[in-house]
Chains A and B, each alone.
Chain A
Amino acid sequence: MVGGLGTLLSPVILFFALGAAAAFARSDLSVPEAVAKGMSLYLMAAIGLKGGVQVSESGFTADMAAAAAAGVALSFLLPLPAFAALRRFGRLDPLNAGAVAAHYGSVSVVTFVAGAEFLAATGLHPAGHMVAVLALMETPAIVVGLLLARRGGEAAAGGARTGGDLLHEALLNGSVVLLMGSFAIGLACGKEGVAPIAPVFDTAFRGVLCLFLLDMGLVAARRLRDARALTPRLAALAVLLPVANGTAGVLVAGLAGLDTASAAALGVLAGSASYIAVPAAMRLALPRADPGLYLAMSLAVTFPFNLAVGIPLRAFLATRLV
């Protein structure tokens, strides 16, 4: 398989494992929340800039349109089988199944960042426009998850005003604004324009990613430790859904005519589960849904699984199928 054992021994994974081990051992190691937030903003700005610069060099291509269409279609469609699996196999009520399905249709920025690092290390360089695809895939799944929850008879509770608030949360949440904003800056400035600030965003990138994943390891393991709602069936789905969705992402990318590296990146996106944009949106739109449930699945099970197994698996599939 692509990367093999080297994947598990990369500093990125090892820092994540260190954080998880510290949390399981009940160490008092912690990353201040404001620092963690700052690092996540840094990573989003860096990945957005990088994508924008790449598109400024390659220009707008048919591949870009195809990738965008494939990404949006996946984000709309992936929650549907996820919802069915969560209802039947996971035995969740429609409300929680809809909320969780939205997480698995949407995407995780950090998984994408880690995936891009992994792919680059294995010689696969996804097109810069995949950053824009990432931003486009955040929102449709939120809408579909919400519709599924409501179709199941669970209206927004307590007179919640979901329309405008939800649209605002989905389209203007911080990660989307920063990603698309820095992408636009990279696109407008080009490689030469960005060169003066490149040392900040290029040189420190991997180090900051390691420290951020140290915090993610702590957060994920503590969440897993405290997860009361996570049944064995739901834990199994938190592994099976990313495998199925990631495979679907690679296949759809192949059908859309994307190159191998971009197909792997679309697989990484499709197989990831949001834990930044969607939880806040679901908390707002479906306040009765259990955040302990969807965060435990997406952050405590799916994210580590993707880091260790899911990303290499998608790279392997892309190199074989596309």
Chain B
Amino acid sequence: MASDVQRRKVEVLVDAPLARRVIAAAEAAGVSGYTLLPTLGGAGRGGRWSDDQVTGAQAKVVFVTVTTDEKAAALTEALAPLLDSHGLLLMTSAVGVVRGAKF
């Protein structure tokens, strides 16, 4: 059985027009692999929001990456100044992965 290797998962909920900023920060931090997930809707301090492909301004996507602790720390550091201004929701967690060399 393949053994688990500890890595860090970073998830960022971001407005779709601003996702490119998160991707640029990830690339600058050396994170080369990521996935963007669509969202349907939700609610937060700013009220309710929903997927809206017509105006597109408030549609949100979730950026997900699994990477090393160092790169995750670099990405978190890079995103810190944008958390308030860009309304990001940033989550990190420890995950076990197989084939650790891929992350």
A133 within 8 A of B: no
Answer whether A36 and B47 are a contact pair too, CB < 8 Å, given A158-B81, A159-B81.
Answer: no
Would you call B86 and A295 a contact (CB within 8 A)?
no
Q: Which of A40, A169, A292 contacts B47 (CB 8 A)?
A: A292
Chain A residues numbered 18-55 whose CB sits less than 8 Å from any CB in chain B: 33-34, 36-37, 40
- A contacts with B, residue count (CB < 8 A): 33
The docked-state distance in angstroms from the alpha carbon of A161 to that of B50 is 26
Q: Mark A8-19, 1 if CB is under 8 A from B, else 0.
A: 000000000000
CB of B20 within 8 A of CB of A276, answer no
**Which residue of chain B lies nearest to A285 when distances are taken between CB atoms in the complex?**
B17
B57 at the interface (CB under 8 A from A): yes
- Alpha-carbon distance between A299 and B24 when the two chains are bound, in angstroms: 31
* A219–B52 CB distance below 8 A: yes
List the B residue with the shortest CB-CB distance to A38: B53
Interface pair B57/A280, CB less than 8 Å apart:
yes
CB-based contact A299/B17 at 8 Å: no
- CA A34 to CA B51, docked complex, whole Å: 10
Question: In this assembly, does B85 line the interface, its C-beta being within 8 Å of a C-beta of chain A?
Answer: yes
Write out the residue numbers on chain B whose beta carbons fall within 8 Å of the beta carbon of A159: 81-82
Q: How far is the CA of A299 from the CA of B82 in the complex (A)?
A: 27
Please give the distance in Å from A208's CB to the nearest CB on chain B.
14
From known contacts A276-B55, A287-B18, A299-B55, infer whether A157 and B85 are also in contact, taking CB-CB under 8 Å: yes
Point out the residue from A216, A276, A291 that lies within 8 Å of B58, measured CB to CB: A291
A270-282 vs B, CB cutoff 8 Å, 1 = contact: the mask equals 0000011001111
Residues of B within 8 A of A (CB): 15, 17-18, 20-21, 24, 46-48, 50-58, 81-82, 84-87
The 8 sampled A-B contact pairs (Cβ below 8 Å) are: A33-B51, A36-B53, A158-B84, A160-B21, A275-B54, A280-B17, A291-B15, A299-B55
**Chain A residues within CB distance 8 Å of chain B:** 33-34, 36-37, 40, 157-161, 165, 169, 215-216, 219, 222, 226, 228, 275-276, 279-284, 287-288, 290-292, 295, 299
Q: A283-B15, A291-B58 are in contact. List 13 more A-B contacts (CB 8 A).
A: A34-B53, A36-B54, A37-B53, A37-B54, A157-B86, A226-B48, A275-B55, A280-B57, A283-B17, A283-B58, A287-B18, A287-B86, A299-B55
